[in-house]
Structure formats: C-alpha cells, structure tokens
Structure 1
Amino acid sequence: MSSNVTRRLVLRGTAVAVAGAALAAPTAMAATRTATAAMTDHSGHGGHSGPAAFDEVYQGRRIVGKPATGEHAAHGGFTASIDGKELHLMQNADGTWISVVNHYETFATPLAVTRAAVDKLRGATLVPIAT
C-alpha cells in the first residue's frame, strides 16, 4: 500500500506550524507582561509604590517585612526578617521575589517568599548571610 504523504507535504506542514508558533509567541509574551505588571502594580494602594509592609506571626514565627532604609534603600529594596533575623530578599527583573532560602523558586510578593522560607526552615533558626 502506498502512502500519499510526500516530502513536500511534510515540509509545508512544518512551515505552517513554525509560522503559527512565531505569530503566537509575541501575543503570549505580551500577555505575560500584562499579568506581571498587574501583579507588581501597587499604584492603587494609597499612592505608594512597592510591596506592602507586613508584621505577623506565621506558623509560630514572627515575620516582618518593610521597605528598606539605609544602604538597601538605594536599590529600591525591601527587608524581611524571621524572628528578628534578616532574610535576604531579591527582586527579579520580572517583579517576582526570591530569598536565600528559596533561591530557585519565585514568589509574587515579599510576604509570600517570607512565608515560604518559614515553611522551608521547618523550625530551624535562620542564620543571616554575611555581607
């Protein structure tokens, strides 16, 4: 039995698939940028910019987060602590946050990354990094 599939037909199908993916990529990237901007836009929260400060007890640990002052403020930073020990936070270019405890997992807010650090520590004491 002979197959009706020719090399030309396969190449044409491949070209159509590649063209479709090339046309869809900018739309997907724009949607991602819009979603990221919506997550990081805090302009409607009383006119301030940046993430909201927090001070709470989470799983028996006191977590505090606030806009950075001093040398960290020059970088638009945000500081967080667990039981009074500093948790080093970093904001990625896409607006997500990571910490030294959860370095390979991103979070939408400093509060979320701080809570995740408490989960990951499982009761261990946070040892601040030397700078």
Structure 2
Amino acid sequence: MPWIYLVHLKYPAFLQYFFIDQQFSRFSSDQFNNQQPWPFYLLCLMFSFLPWLFVSQFKFSKQALTQQLGQPIFILVVWWFISVTVFFSIPPSKLVGYILPATAPLAILIATMVDGVLENLVC
C-alpha cells in the first residue's frame, strides 16, 4: 500500500488508471488490444507444457492421479486450474501473463503423471 500512495501523490490519476482502467475496464470491455478467442489460454498452456506432455506419454487418468495425490488434493488442483483458466478466458482482451496462476496446478498434475510413467519404467 505505501507504494500505491506514493505513486498517487506524484500521479493523481494513477488510482483511476490502475484500478478502473487496467483492472475492471480491461476485463469488461472489448476496447483493449490483444483480443483473442476464448481457447487462447488453453492453447498457450498446451504448447508451454508440450514437452512434458510427451514425457508423461499423455497418460492422464483420474484414478492414477487420485491415488498419487489423494482425492481432496486432486479436486483442489483441478478446480484451481479450471477456475483460473475460465475466469481469465472470459474477457476478450487476453495477455499471456494472466494465465500464469494456472501453470502451477497444471505442473502438479503433469509432474504426478510423469512420476507415474518413470516409476513404471524403473520397475
């Protein structure tokens, strides 16, 4: 909060620009650049994790994930991924950095599957 106050002292229009224009208006209007279709973030995540998807051999099963993570953790991670991806896919203006909070749960799911694949290779 102190830095927001100091910036506001130097630039009185900062609060309007930062909170209203860049947060609410960017989410609710189509007047901003970087307009992308709704599956934009799914494609970004797929291409970002593509090498690991190949390592996991695309062996994603709910049963294997719930065995390794436990049912409550699995539900949390899936809900985390879906809610962040859907929320940021709603506005027409999309920036790639907005989807970063969805990379952690996806990394957990893929790491769990890679661990299962590697465990089967060793045994």
Q: State the TM bucket, normalised to the shorter chain.
A: 0.3 to 0.5
Structure with greater strand share of residues? 1
Structure with greater helix share of residues? 2
Q: TM-score, normalised by structure 2?
A: 0.32
Larger Rg: 1
Higher RCO, 1 vs 2 (CA within 8 Å, ≥6 residues apart): 2
